[in-house]
């Protein structure tokens, strides 16, 4: 299975700041088949980005994704109060999909 | 609108089995694969497997192979996930989520508690 390692585990930032989250794969992710999800406390995960860089329906343009191969990045250009949450990456390039362990973005 | 409605919370003893359902509506059931993902208390997301509603073909995470069975009923647009030989570490919220790849719609989750 492809192992996804997210960094950092926790990111402490202030509203208005830029957040950069990393997701590194143990082997190349076929076809840039990588997604990012946001999970707020007590809520179900929400799809933000798919195919590494495509925003899902209704996702604000302050969220962007990039990367290929084994290194992927989720960027939140200016943090809004509702963006403080846990973010997960997921690869779906192999028959057995996997998630990263998550990055918590908390208010500094 | 797309909806995935899951069955209610369950409490099971170690060694028992649990079967969770997920009823889909608002789209053509056979056009999208369905995944199962679980989340233990305070932990991250764990992918369990996928089912193709058209033919019923499945792929399971190696960790669950031999213990999990995913099935579907195309007449009621419902998928099922059965997990056997339950242990305390299986206490988690179990989600169904629509594929085939990135998961764009999720069920509300079903809490399964395993304790003696």
Cβ pair A26, A2 in contact under 8 A: yes
Residues of B with CB under 8 A from a CB of A: 35, 37, 44-47, 50, 59-62, 95, 97, 99, 101-104, 106-109
CA distance B104 to chain A (A): 6
Task: Express each pLDDT in B60-111 by its tens digit.
Answer: 999 999 999 999 999 999 999 999 999 999 999 999 999 888 999 999 999 9
CA distance B83 to A94: 23
Q: Which residues share a beta bridge with B68? A: B83
pLDDT tens digits, one per residue of A68-104: 999 999 999 999 999 999 999 999 999 999 999 999 9
Closest residue by Cα to residue A6 from A17, A60, A19, B95: A19
CA-nearest residue of chain B to A92?
Answer: B101
What backbone phi and psi angles, to 5 degrees, belong to A32? Answer: 60, 35
């Amino acid at each position: 299975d492809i192992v996804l390692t997210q960094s950092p585990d926790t990111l402490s930032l202030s509203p208005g700041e830029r957040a950069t989250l990393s997701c590194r794969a143990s082997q190349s992710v076929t076809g840039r088949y990588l997604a990012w999800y946001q999970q707020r406390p007590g809520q179900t995960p929400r799809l933000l980005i798919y195919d590494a860089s495509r925003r899902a329906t209704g996702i604000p343009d302050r969220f962007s994704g990039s990367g290929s191969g084994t290194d992927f990045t989720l960027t939140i250009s200016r943090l809004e109060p509702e963006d403080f949450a846990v973010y997960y990456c997921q690869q779906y390039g192999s028959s057995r999909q996997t998630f990263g362990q998550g990055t918590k973005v908390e208010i500094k | 609108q797309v909806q995935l409605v899951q069955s209610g919370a369950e409490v099971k003893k170690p060694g028992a089995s649990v079967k969770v359902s997920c009823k889909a509506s608002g789209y053509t059931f056979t056009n999208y694969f369905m995944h199962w993902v679980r989340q233990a208390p305070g932990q991250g997301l764990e992918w369990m497997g996928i089912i193709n509603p058209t033919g019923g073909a499945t792929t399971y995470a190696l960790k669950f192979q031999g213990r999990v069975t995913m099935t579907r009923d195309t007449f009621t647009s419902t998928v099922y996930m059965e997990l056997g030989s339950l242990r305390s570490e299986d206490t988690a919220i179990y989600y169904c989520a629509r594929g085939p790849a990135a998961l764009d719609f999720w069920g509300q989750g079903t809490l399964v508690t395993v304790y003696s």
